[in-house]
């Protein structure tokens, strides 16, 4: 797609956000709307020195600044205020993300209207984060534990849902008392910079939230920085492995939400209309650009042909177009490299013997990086298309014979992020859910998340959990405190 820089709407200009201030940058990069091809924003292309400055600001705020002196209740009040501001500006932030990554406005608006709930949930948890009194095995000691913030967090966020996936980290981290340096994807940095403006309005102290935009090398600089206490990353598994290896050099804690190749399992007794709708939502929602995408559709052989026919018929009716149009059901792929990656995977699948039932081509008439929603049948689980994450609107349909066969195929992957089971047999639903090696399993549903429910993966889909009570524990350390009760001299050479 040709990129237009000489016409179109006014171009927005942004600075870095460090220590509560907008900081100009000598180098800049353009952000192009993946639907129109127009340059719509100019953002900083930061350097390692900017990472150093941002980490120093976060370090000051954590170690000695006003943030470190706030009570947990006061922190919660600020987080709730931030949620109120985001709720007020949801429409603005949704339009920004549509411009940045081409996702549907109606989806982004729903997402940004839901994001405040994450802030409210963790704001309430801030002063509920308590330790324990530990029963002592010695009469002269009182022992208790404290949960304390881990420190300065380096957050690296992806381009598919930059706001939501940042808040997965930000809300629990702030509630725990941490400070942040964020490096958003170079493809979608603007919503993060806009969110930074709202921190000031909410009354957060300087240095609590810092944003450095730029190329991917900045993420590497952030991970290896000795001033970072924890890295929180969402993105590709290969990148997550490199981050874990680099962070290990400083024994920096990590949480990694990585890729998936999630199985959507349909048994013969399922309601096929409902299952077909769930399969389509699971892979074509967000143009298939979600880590939890149900990219493998496992169908029991006795209903395979019937379900495939229904899915293909509905897939051919999916309306592609302007993400801002309410009638549009699927937008473009978010950027040019991803567009080419998706098209290459379709070619590989066909060469390996998969049958193209529909889609499989771009759509030059629409402009942008459109890939027609694609359904592939005759897929076996050993094909690359069934084992590697495509991150696009490509569904692989795989037959299975019985329950054991379905579980075997579903678990035969290096990933373990999500899965779904479609059946009207409640016993089977629970039985299969318990045996699937995945962090989230839906029964007769797909692609549902909640601020109150842990989310994360097994195997190469990641480390740690986001959302729910589990998430705030990812941003704390446990300290044990022993209090001697008698004040009497003790034998210095005797333990305890």
Q: Examine the residue annotation and report whether 291 is marked as an active-site residue of this protein.
A: yes
Residue among 39, 44, 31, 34 at smallest CA distance from 10:
39
**Signed CA dihedral, 275, 288, 354, 414: sign only:** negative
CA angle 461, 169, 109 (to 5 degrees): 95
d(CA 457, CA 259): 9
d(CA 61, CA 20): 11
* Given 178, 291, 460, 474, the catalytic residue: 291
Q: Examine the residue annotation and report whether 403 is marked as an active-site residue of this protein.
A: no
Q: Are 305 and 266 in contact (CB under 8 A)?
A: no
DSSP 2: P
Say how many CA atoms lie within 13 Å of 19 toward its Cβ: 13
d(CA 378, CA 362): 22
Residue among 22, 467, 79 at smallest CA distance from 210:
22
E strands, 258-317, are 263-266, 296-300
Q: What is the spatial order of strands in the sheet that 209-211 belongs to?
A: 21-23, 16-18, 209-211, 179-183, 152-156, 230-234, 253-257, 462-463
d(CA 89, CA 124): 22
Secondary element (H or E) of residue 210? strand 209-211
> Strand, helix or coil at 31?
strand
Rounded to the nearest 5°, which phi and psi values hold at 15? -115, 170
**Signed CA dihedral, 61, 73, 196, 470: sign only:** positive
* Given 97, 107, 186, 257, the catalytic residue: 257
Q: How far lies 295's CA from each of 101, 161, 196, 349, in Å?
A: 20, 18, 34, 13
Max CA distance (Å), the chain: 86
Say how many CA atoms lie within 13 Å of 382 toward its Cβ: 0
Q: How many CB atoms lie within 10 A of CB 84?
A: 15
> Strand, helix or coil at 456?
coil
DSSP 341: H
Q: What is the CA radius of gyration of the chain?
A: 24
Cα torsion at 392, 398, 400, 403 (round to 10°)?
A: 0
Q: How many CB atoms lie within 10 A of CB 431?
A: 14
Q: What interhelical angle do 72-88 and 162-176 show, nearest 10?
A: 160
Q: Which residues are catalytic?
A: 257, 291
């Amino acid at each position: 797609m040709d990129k237009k820089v000489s016409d179109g709407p006014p171009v927005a200009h942004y600075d870095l956000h460090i220590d509560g201030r907008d900081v100009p940058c000598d180098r800049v990069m353009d952000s192009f709307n993946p639907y129109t091809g127009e340059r719509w924003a100019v953002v900083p292309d930061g350097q390692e020195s900017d990472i150093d400055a941002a980490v120093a600001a976060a370090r000051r705020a954590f170690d000695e600044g006003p943030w470190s002196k706030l009570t947990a209740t006061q922190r919660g009040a600020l987080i709730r205020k931030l949620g109120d501001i985001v709720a007020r500006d949801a429409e603005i932030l949704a339009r920004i993300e549509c411009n940045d990554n081409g996702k549907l406005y109606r989806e982004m608006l729903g997402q940004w209207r839901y994001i405040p709930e994450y802030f409210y949930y963790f704001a309430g948890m801030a002063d509920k984060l308590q330790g324990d009194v530990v029963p002592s095995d010695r009469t002269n000691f009182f022992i208790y534990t404290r949960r304390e913030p881990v420190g300065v967090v380096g957050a690296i966020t992806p381009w598919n849902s930059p706001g939501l996936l940042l808040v997965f980290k930000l809300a629990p981290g702030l509630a725990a008392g941490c400070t942040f340096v964020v490096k958003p994807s170079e493809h979608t940095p603007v919503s993060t910079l806009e969110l930074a403006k709202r921190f000031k309005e909410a009354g957060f102290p300087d240095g609590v939230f810092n944003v450095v935009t730029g190329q991917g090398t900045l993420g590497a600089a952030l991970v290896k920085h000795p001033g970072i206490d924890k890295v929180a990353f969402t993105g590709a598994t290969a990148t997550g492995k490199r981050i874990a290896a680099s962070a290990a050099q400083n024994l920096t804690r990590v949480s990694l939400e990585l890729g998936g190749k999630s199985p959507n399992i349909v048994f013969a007794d399922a309601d096929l209309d409902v299952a077909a709708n769930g399969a389509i939502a699971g892979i074509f929602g967000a143009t298939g650009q979600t880590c939890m995408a149900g990219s493998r559709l496992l169908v029991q052989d006795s209903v395979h042909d019937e379900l495939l026919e229904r899915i293909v018929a509905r897939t051919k009716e999916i309306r592609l177009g302007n993400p801002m149009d309410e009638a549009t059901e699927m937008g473009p792929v978010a950027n040019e490299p991803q567009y080419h990656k998706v098209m290459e995977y379709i070619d590989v699948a066909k060469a390996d013997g998969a049958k193209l039932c529909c889609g499989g081509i771009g759509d030059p008439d629409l402009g942008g990086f459109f890939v027609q929603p694609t359904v592939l049948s005759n897929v076996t689980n050993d094909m690359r298309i069934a084992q590697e994450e495509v991150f696009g609107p490509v569904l692989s349909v795989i037959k299975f014979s019985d329950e054991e066969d379905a579980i075997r195929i579903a678990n035969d992957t290096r990933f373990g992020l999500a899965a779904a089971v479609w059946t009207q047999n409640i016993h089977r639903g629970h039985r299969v859910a318990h045996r699937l090696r995945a962090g989230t399993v839906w029964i007769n549903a797909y692609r549902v998340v909640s601020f109150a429910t842990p989310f994360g993966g097994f195997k190469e889909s990641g480390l740690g959990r986001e959302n729910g009570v589990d998430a705030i524990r990812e941003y704390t350390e446990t300290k044990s405190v022993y209090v001697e009760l008698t004040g009497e001299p003790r034998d210095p050479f005797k333990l305890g």
